Amino acid sequence: MQINFTKMQASGNDFIVIDATQQPISLSTSQIHHLASRHYGVGCDQLLMIGSPILIQHNQMSYPIKIYNSDGSEVQQCGNGLRAIASFLATTVQQEQHAFLLQVADQIYPTSRQENNHFAVNLGQPIWLPNKIPANFSQRQMHYQLPYQQKNYQAGLVSFANPHCVIVVDSLTEFPLVEFGEALNNNPCFPEGINLECIQLLDKHTIAMRVYERGVGETQACGSGACAAVACGHLWQYLANRVTVRLNQSELIVELKEDGYWLSGAVEKVFIGTIHL
């Protein structure tokens, strides 16, 4: 099978984007894993599949989206991935449009094109109830106590259609992100795994962040993770409504508006290609 694809990156998150708007494309878990391999395939954090647009209410069209981690598992959210798809549609499929509705499962996400090749997506409102995250805790807490290597960490737990654990640290470089992330993903408290964000508070408008994504490992960025970090910062009354999230080599902007948390930043097409499976 021959697959045409576009390689894109958004704030360091890299994606394989596959346009299935003209005909359906089905990939197995092993095929997705192969495509995502940085040694044997194209290489990516997530693979994004765009389906044919469907009519929803008020004569609006939405694009159904499938999101797969590099291990082949399907997930329900990827903020930077949705921004990459908006850029792909605006520059390839519907070049006259500047706003799109993207649908993942039963959730619809509005996107918009901004200046300087920036794209934004509304990820909606955070979910705090443990059973909806999901996390096996009896009740919602301001801070959850998570033990690791004879130390208890205070963490925020929240979902933006995928689960996140947020921890404030004094030093991003010294925090054992990968080791702790792997431990959390083997913890029965998190039946579907969890993404881990460690953040450093710089001022009320700025944070620095590292992220461990379930099914991927440490990545250069995570859009929904940036929103999760800022949402927890709001819960703890640390942050303003508009926050710059500094990552390894890029920045994201998270802004709380009346209709939800908006994520924005740059998107870039890296290359296009064809691969045979």
Model confidence over 224-269: pLDDT tens digits? 999 999 999 999 999 999 999 999 889 999 999 999 999 999 999 9
Maximum alpha-carbon separation in the chain: 57
Cβ within 8 Å of residue 89, ≥6 positions away = 50, 63, 97, 100
Judged by average pLDDT, the poorest of 14-28, 121-135, 227-241 is 14-28
Predicted local confidence at residue 59, as pLDDT = 79
Reported pTM: 0.93
Contact at 8 Å (CB) between 90 and 97?
yes
Evaluate whether 147 touches 155 at the Cβ level (below 8 Å). Answer: no
Q: Mind telling me the catalytic residues?
A: 78, 222
Query: Torsion angle, CA of 150/207/16/90, rounded to 10 degrees?
Result: 160
Rounded (10°) CA dihedral 253, 213, 176, 168: 40
